[in-house]
């Protein structure tokens, strides 16, 4: 009876051998599947298109407070051809007739109105037709 060998260590009831600890050995951390790291955009620069129209201006000279010299002035308007003007010119050229090409450049309604301060000649804004 006594000569019976004890069962192997690992087979003792309720005992499960732990992982053998190797002193000095590099303990490898359990390998987890690589987590898909959501690409965090570091800096989101939302470029709000700041229109230069700080004050409501139209195509006509407007009484405003100049942001540059802070004087209450009536803006000086200079009409400049916008991309739309060139578009119209092209349309005129292609569809209608040549002499009409210059029409959009003569019509203020087809051009941008640049407002300038008469006091300090600062650029105030553009009214796009
Ligand atoms: Zn001014």
- Write the pLDDT tens digit of every residue in 5-41: 665 655 555 655 566 555 666 666 667 776 766 665 5
70 Cα–ligand 1 center, Å: 6
The whole-model pTM stands at 0.48
Average pLDDT, rounded, for the chain: 74
* Cα gap 126→129, rounded to integer Å: 9
58 Cα–ligand 1 center, Å: 18
Tell me what pLDDT residue 23 has.
64
Residues 6+ apart with CB under 8 A from 63: 72, 73, 74, 75
Q: Nearest 5°: phi and psi at 67?
A: -70, -15
18 Cα–ligand 1 center, Å: 83
């Amino acid at each position: 009876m006594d000569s019976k060998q004890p069962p192997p260590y690992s087979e003792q009831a309720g005992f499960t051998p732990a992982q053998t600890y190797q002193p000095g050995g590099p303990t490898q951390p359990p390998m987890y599947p690589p987590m898909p790291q959501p690409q965090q955009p570091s800096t989101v620069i939302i470029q709000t298109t700041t229109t230069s129209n700080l004050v409501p201006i139209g195509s006509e000279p407007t009484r405003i407070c100049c942001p540059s010299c802070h004087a209450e002035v009536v803006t000086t308007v200079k009409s400049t051809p916008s991309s739309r003007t060139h578009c119209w010119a092209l349309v005129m050229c292609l569809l209608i007739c040549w002499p009409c090409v210059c029409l959009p450049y003569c019509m203020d309604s087809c051009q941008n109105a640049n407002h300038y301060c008469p006091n300090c000649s600062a650029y105030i804004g553009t009214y796009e037709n």
